[in-house]
Structure 1
Amino acid sequence: MHYVTVEGLTKSYGEAPLFEDISFHIEEGDKIALVALNGTGKSTLLRILCGKEVPDAGKVWIHKDVTVVMLEQNHGFDLKKSVLENIFDHSHPILNAIREYELLTDEGAEPDPDALTAAIAKMDEMGAWHFDSKVKQILGKLNIHHLDQEIGTLSGGQQKRVALAKVLIDIGFEHKHTLLIMDEPTNHLDVSMIEWLENYLDQENVTLLLVTHDRYFLDSVCNEIMELDNRQLYIYKGNYENYLEKKAAREESEKASVEKARNTYRKELEWMRKQPKARTTKSKSRQDAFYEVKERATARLESQQLELNVKMSRLGGKIIELKKVYKAYGEKVILKGFDYTFKKGERIGVVGKNGAGKSTFLNILMGHEQADSGKVNVGDTIIFGNYSQEGLKIKEDMRVIEFVKNIAENFPLADGSKVSAAQFLQLFLFPPEKQYTYISRLSGGEKRRLHLLSILFRNPNFLVLDEPTNDLDLPTLSILEDFLLTYQGCILIVSHDRYFMDKLVDHLFVFEGEGEVRDYPGNYTQYREWEKDQEKPEPKKEERPVETPAAAPQAAAEPKKKMSFKEKREMELLEKDMEALEAEKKQLDEQLASGSLSYEQLQAAAQRIGVVMEQLDEKGLRWLELSEMA
Structure 2
Amino acid sequence: MEFVFHINRLNKYYGTRQVLKDICLSFYPGAKIGVVGENGAGKSTLLRIMAGQDKDFQGEAEPCKGVRVGYVPQEPQLDPTRTVKGNLELAFGEIMELLKEFDELSMKMCEVEGDEYDKVANRMAAVQDKIDAADGWNIDQKLSVAANALVLPPDDMDVTTLSGGERRRVALARALLEQPDILLLDEPTNHLDAETIAWLEGQLRDYPGTVIIVTHDRYFLDNVTKWILELDGGRGIPFEGNYSSWLAQKIEILARQEKSAQRRKSLEGELKWIRMNTAGHHELARQRLADYERLVAEEMKADDDIAIQIAPAAHLGDQVIEIKDLAKGFGATPLYSNVSFTLPKGAVVGLIGPNGTGKTTLLRMITGNDTPDAGTITIGQTVRLAYVDQHRDHLNGENTVYDEIRDGCEEISFGKQSIPARAYVGRFNFKGSDQQKLVSELSGGERNRVHLAKLLKSGANVLLLDEPTNDLDVNTLRMLEDAINGFGGCVMVISHDRFFLNRICSHLLVFEGEGKVRWFEGNFEEYEDVRRREIGDAYENRRARYRRIV
State the TM bucket, normalised to the shorter chain.
0.7 to 0.9
Aligned partner letter, 1:202: R
- Number of the residue aligned with 1:164: 172
Paired AA for residue 58 in structure 1: G
The letter for the 2-side match of 1:420 is P
Residue of structure 2 equivalent to 1:276:
none
| Contact 2:326 2:340 (8 Å CA) reproduced | yes
Q: Any conservation in 2 of the 1:6–1:24 contact (CA below 8 Å)?
A: yes
Which residues of 2 match residues 555-566 of structure 1 at below 5 A?
none
Q: Partner of 2:30: helix, strand, or coil? A: coil
How far apart, in 2, do the equivalents of 1:464 and 1:99 lie?
54
Q: What residue number does 1:437 align with?
A: 437
Report the CA distance between 1:308 and its aligned residue: 4.0
For residues 4-46 of structure 1, the C-alpha deviation after alignment (integer angstroms, 9 at most, x for no partner) is 1111110011111002111111010111011111112111111
Task: Report the CA distance between 1:98 and its aligned residue.
Answer: 8.0
* Contact preservation (8 Å) 2:37, 2:231: yes
Alignment of 1:11 onto 2:16? no
Assess, with a 3 A threshold, how the Cα gap between structure 1 residues 169 and 312 changes in structure 2: closer, same or farther: same
Q: Where does the alignment leave 5 or more consecutive residues of structure 1 unmatched?
A: 101-121, 258-302, 539-630
Change (3 A) 1:508 1:353: same
8 Å CA contact 2:308–2:479 kept in 1: the answer is no
Query: Is the CA contact (8 Å cut-off) linking 1:332 and 1:514 kept in structure 2?
Result: no
Q: How big is each residue's C-alpha offset from its partner over 1:491-532, in whole Å with a ceiling of 9 and x where there is no partner? A: 111111111000000121111223221122211011112212
Runs of 4+ deviating beyond 6 Å? 97-100, 122-125
Match of 2:404?
Answer: 403
- The residue matched to 2:223 in structure 1 has which SS? helix
Assess, with a 3 A threshold, how the Cα gap between structure 1 residues 151 and 311 changes in structure 2: closer, same or farther.
same
For residue 149 of structure 1, what is the aligned residue in structure 2? 157
| Matched residue type, 1:435 | Q
| Equivalent position of 2:370 in the other structure | 369
Shift of 1:235: 1.2
Q: Deviations over 1:378-400 (max 9, x none)?
A: 22332222232112433441211
Superposed CA offset, 1:56-91 (max 9, x none): 321123111210000011212243532122333478
- Structure 1 position 126 matched with structure 2 position 131: yes
2:23 alignment counterpart:
22
- Alignment length, in residue pairs? 467
Residue in 2 aligned with 1:494? 494
- Equivalent residue number for residue 327 of structure 1: 328
Q: Is the 8 A contact 1:392 1:447 kept in 2?
A: no
Q: Which residue of 2 aligns with 1:482?
A: 482
In structure 1, C-alpha distance between the alignment counterparts of 2:138 and 2:238, rounded to whole Å: 38
Residue 195 of structure 2 is matched in structure 1 by 192
Equivalent residue number for residue 286 of structure 2: none
TM-score by length of 2: 0.80
Matched residue, 2:118: none
| 1:444-463 alignment, distance < 5 Å | 444-463=444-463
Deviation at 1:354, TM superposition (A): 2.0
Map of 1:71 onto structure 2: 72
Contact 1:407/1:458 (8 A) holds in 2: no
Distance 1:309 1:474, change over 3 A: closer
Letter in 2 for 1:310: A
State the distance in 2 between where 1:163 and 1:393 align: 29
Quickly say closer, same or farther: Cα 1:394–1:145, change in 2 above 3 A.
Answer: closer
d(CA) in 2 for partners of 1:123 and 1:528?
Answer: 47
Distance 1:409 1:392 in 2: 25
Give SS of 1:508's match.
strand
Q: Distance in 2 between matches of 1:219 and 1:481?
A: 18
Contact kept, 8 Å, 1:215 with 1:499, in 2: the verdict is: yes
**CA 1:408–1:64 in 2, change beyond 3 Å: closer, same or farther?**
same
For 1:396 and 1:6, the matched residues in 2 are separated by 37
Structure 2 contact 396–439 (Cα < 8 Å) conserved = no
Deviation at residue 333 of structure 1 after TM alignment: 2.3
One-letter code aligned to 1:344 = K
Q: Which moved more, 1:189-198 or 1:133-142?
A: 133-142
Contact 2:399 2:438 in 1 (8 A): yes
- How far is the alpha carbon of 1:401 from its aligned partner? 0.6
Question: Residue 414 of structure 2 corresponds to which residue in structure 1?
Answer: 413
Partner of 1:105: none
**Partner AA of 1:367 in structure 2:** G
Q: Paired residue for 1:264?
A: none
For the pair shown, the structure with the greater C-alpha radius of gyration is: 1
Query: CA shift at 1:205, angstroms?
Result: 1.2
Contact persistence 1:83–1:151 (CA under 8 A): yes
- Asked if 2 retains the 8 angstrom alpha-carbon contact of 1:422 and 1:432, the reply is no
Deviation at 1:97, TM superposition (A): 7.5
Structure 2: how far apart are the matches of 1:98 and 1:213? 41
Distance in structure 2 (CA, Å) of the matches to 1:50 and 1:185 = 16
Do 2:99 and 2:131's aligned partners in 1 also have CA atoms closer than 8 Å?
A: no
CA distance change for structure 1 residues 471 and 78 in 2, over 3 Å: closer, same or farther? same
Amino acid at match of 1:430: F
8 A Cα contact 1:315 1:489, kept in partner: yes
Question: 5 Å matches for 1:180-579?
Answer: 180-255=183-258, 305-306=306-307, 308=309, 310-406=311-407, 408-414=409-415, 416-536=416-536
Partner of 2:266: none
CA distance in 2, matches of 1:319, 1:339: 14
> What percentage of residue pairs aligned between the two structures are identical?
34
Please, which runs of 5 or more residues in structure 2 have no aligned partner? 102-126, 261-303, 539-550
Question: What amino acid does structure 2 have at the position aligned with 1:462?
Answer: V
Question: Against the structure 1 CA distance between its residues 243 and 515, is the aligned structure 2 distance closer, same or farther, given a 3 Å change threshold?
Answer: same
Contact map agreement 2:413 2:457 (CA 8 A) in 1 = no
CA distance, structure 2, for counterparts of residue 498 and residue 340 of structure 1: 23
Sort the Cα spacing of 1:345 and 1:518 in 2 relative to 1 into closer, same or farther, 3 A.
same
8 Å CA contact 2:312–2:488 kept in 1: the answer is no
Pair 1:32-2:33 in alignment = yes
Q: Distance in 2 between matches of 1:160 and 1:438?
A: 28
**Is the Cα contact below 8 Å between 1:324 and 1:336 reproduced in 2?**
yes
Distance 1:149 1:537 in 2: 32
Query: Is 1:86 paired with 2:83?
Result: no
Q: Distance in 2 between matches of 1:357 and 1:124?
A: 51
Structure possessing the higher relative contact order (Cα contacts under 8 Å, 6 or more residues apart): 2
Separation of aligned partners in 2, 1:451 and 1:381: 24
1:169-189 CA-partner distances (Å, limit 9, x unpaired)? 121xxx5xx100000000010
**Bigger shift: residues 449-458 or 129-138:** 129-138
